[in-house]
């Protein structure tokens, strides 16, 4: 049997381990984390990601555990809605549930190796599924492929109350974003992002939450309500990192999947979705074609699309977190909203 070594047992690594043909490959997964994430956060799963979840056999469980998005409002920072759009077909799912369900369908034949990989194992095909700070990418693609620190801080968490009436959606301010979405019928997922010098490592959650409360205080009732219920132990704060553009995801017996290949800003909500699609696509090709052909086809199917999304996500971040262009942006959005309503 051919050996496949996966560095990283997150969304991409587990999906790949679950989808590879256990009769053809001896699969090993290295994962440095001992436990599932302790703070709950929510991920939007778009239809392509749901197809990938179906391919690994966990779509019904994800549908049962998650909550379907129905509509999404785009608002100014005071809460006035510019647009309301259907979000049919998108499911919000907790990252912990997704990881737990993926973990469950990884066959027992897969070897699990705990601990952080520092020097790359030299056996069969090596897969970098080790996220935006990928050691595999840095060692095989060189220092120019190192992750880049963005100036933005992201906070997210879940509060134990339903979404306040007419408060769901995204609020775009001057260099600041706040999001409110259902995590389930009884709980609310919130997120915020703005430029900050906090971090990149060792961010004090209480200080970040405090800063966020001061920044958004009094801007919109829905935001005040959600932030009043947010507690440091239920909040995650991190600086956003991205991966520079790559032309190929394969090199010298190595292949990249997920954030290791195309770590992007979170403003399109596509990173985890693309990680799932990468892994299921790669597994399907490896299961059915000779190795060189499979890797060639993987590049062809995945590089252009995921790099386009990476670039689109950066453009979206510039629009959402616009500073000097914010008044113009808001005027255009307000006008476009009025035109749409009167059409």
Ligand X SMILES: Cc1cc2nc3c(=O)[nH]c(=O)nc-3n(C[C@H](O)[C@H](O)[C@H](O)COP(=O)(O)OP(=O)(O)OC[C@H]3O[C@@H](n4cnc5c(N)ncnc54)[C@H](O)[C@@H]3O)c2cc1C
The nearest distance, CB 267 to ligand X, in angstroms, is 9
One symbol per residue from 235 to 274: x for binding ligand X (CB under 6 A), - otherwise; what is it?
-----------------------xxx-----x--xxxxx-
Residue 275 interacting with ligand X (CB under 6 A): yes
Q: Does 10 bind ligand X (CB under 6 A)?
A: yes
Q: Nearest distance from residue 135's CB to ligand X, in Å?
A: 4
Q: Which of 342, 320, 327, 343 is nearest to 74 (CA)?
A: 320
Tokens encoding 145: 């492929």
Should residue 44 be labelled a site residue for ligand X when binding is judged by CB under 6 A? yes
Min separation Cβ 245 and ligand X, Å:
16
Expressed in percent and rounded to 5, the helix, strand and coil fractions of the chain are 40, 25, 35
Counting contacts by CB under 6 A, is residue 321 touching ligand X?
Answer: no
Q: Scan for tokens 């019904």, then name that residue.
A: 60
**Residues with Cβ within 8 Å of residue 244, at least 6 apart in sequence:** 144, 145, 146, 148
If binding means CB under 6 A, how many residues of this protein chain bind ligand X?
31
For ligand X, give the closer residue by CB, 42 or 330: 42
Which tokens hold the place of 117? 């990989």
User: Of residues 154, 181, 205, 309, which one binds ligand X by CB under 6 A?
Assistant: 154
Provide the minimum distance between the beta carbon of 124 and ligand X in the complex, in angstroms, as a whole number.
Answer: 17
**Closer residue to ligand X, CB minimum distance, 208 or 272:** 272
Among 140, 156, 187, 302, indicate the residue that binds ligand X (CB under 6 A): 156
Sole window of 4-12, 138-146, 210-218, 302-310 interacting with ligand X (rule: CB under 6 A): 4-12
29 lies in the site for ligand X, by CB under 6 A: no
Which range binds ligand X by CB under 6 A, 10-18, 102-110, 205-213, 321-329? Answer: 10-18
Segment lying near ligand X (by CB under 6 A), choices 123-131, 171-179, 196-204, 291-299: 123-131
Cα separation, 101 vs 333, whole angstroms: 40
Instruction: List the beta bridge partners of residue 289.
Output: none
Q: Which of residues 183-212 bind ligand X (CB under 6 A)?
A: none
DSSP 267-322: GGS-HHHHHHHHHHHHHHHHHHS-HHHHHHHHHHHHHHHHHHHHHHHHHHHHHHT-
Restricting to residues 80-109, which ones interact with ligand X according to CB under 6 A? none
Is position 128 an interface residue for ligand X (rule: CB under 6 A)? no
d(CA 166, CA 174): 22
Q: Could you list the beta-strand ranges (E) of 119-234.
A: 125-128, 148-159, 169-172, 176-182, 188-195
Q: Give the C-alpha separation, 228 to 143, whole Å.
A: 43
Q: How far apart are CA 101 and CA 11, in angstroms?
A: 10
Which residues, in sequence order, are bridge partners of residue 62? none
Q: Does the protein bind ligand X through residue 314 (CB under 6 A)? A: no
110 forms part of the interface with ligand X (CB under 6 A): no
Alpha-carbon distance of 251 to 1, in angstroms, equals 22
> CB 70 → ligand X: shortest distance, Å?
16
**Binding of ligand X by 8 (CB under 6 A):** yes
For residue 127, which of 37, 19, 51 has the smallest C-alpha distance? 19
Residue numbers at the binding site for ligand X (CB under 6 A): 7-13, 30-33, 43-44, 116-117, 129-131, 135, 154, 156, 258-260, 266, 269-273, 275
């Amino acid at each position: 049997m051919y050996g496949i070594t996966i560095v990283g047992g997150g969304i991409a690594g587990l999906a790949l381990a679950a989808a590879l043909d256990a009769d053809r490959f001896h699969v090993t997964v290295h994962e440095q984390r001992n436990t599932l994430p302790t703070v709950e956060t929510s991920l939007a799963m778009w239809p392509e990601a749901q197809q990938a979840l179906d391919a690994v056999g966990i779509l019904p469980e994800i549908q049962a555990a998650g909550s379907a998005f129905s509509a999404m409002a785009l608002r100014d920072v005071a809460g006035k809605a510019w647009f309301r759009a259907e979000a049919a077909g998108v499911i919000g799912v907790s990252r912990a549930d997704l990881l737990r369900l993926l973990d469950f369908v990884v066959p027992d034949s897969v070897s699990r190796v705990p601990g952080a990989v520092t020097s790359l194992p030299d056996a069969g095909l090596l897969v970098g599924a080790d996220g935006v700070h990928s050691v595999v990418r840095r060692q095989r693609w060189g220092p120019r492929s190192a992750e880049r620190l963005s100036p933005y801080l992201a906070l997210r968490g879940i509060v134990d109350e339903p979404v306040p009436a007419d408060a769901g959606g995204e609020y775009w301010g001057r260099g600041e974003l706040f999001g409110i979405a259902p995590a389930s019928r009884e709980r609310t997922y919130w997120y915020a992002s703005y430029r900050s010098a906090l971090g990149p490592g060792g961010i004090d959650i209480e200080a970040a939450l405090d800063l966020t409360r001061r920044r958004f205080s009094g801007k919109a009732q829905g935001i005040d309500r959600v932030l009043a219920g947010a507690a440091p132990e239920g909040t995650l704060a991190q600086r956003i990192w991205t991966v520079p553009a790559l032309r190929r995801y394969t090199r010298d017996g190595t292949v990249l999947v997920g954030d290791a290949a195309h770590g992007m800003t979170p403003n399109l909500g596509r990173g985890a979705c693309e990680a799932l699609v990468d892994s299921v696509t790669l597994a399907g090709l490896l299961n059915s074609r000779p190795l060189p052909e499979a890797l060639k086809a993987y590049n062809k199917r995945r590089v252009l699309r995921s790099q386009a999304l990476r670039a689109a996500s950066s453009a979206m971040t510039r629009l959402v977190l616009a500073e000097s262009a914010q008044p113009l942006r808001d005027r255009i959005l307000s006008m476009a909203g009025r035109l749409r309503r009167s059409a």
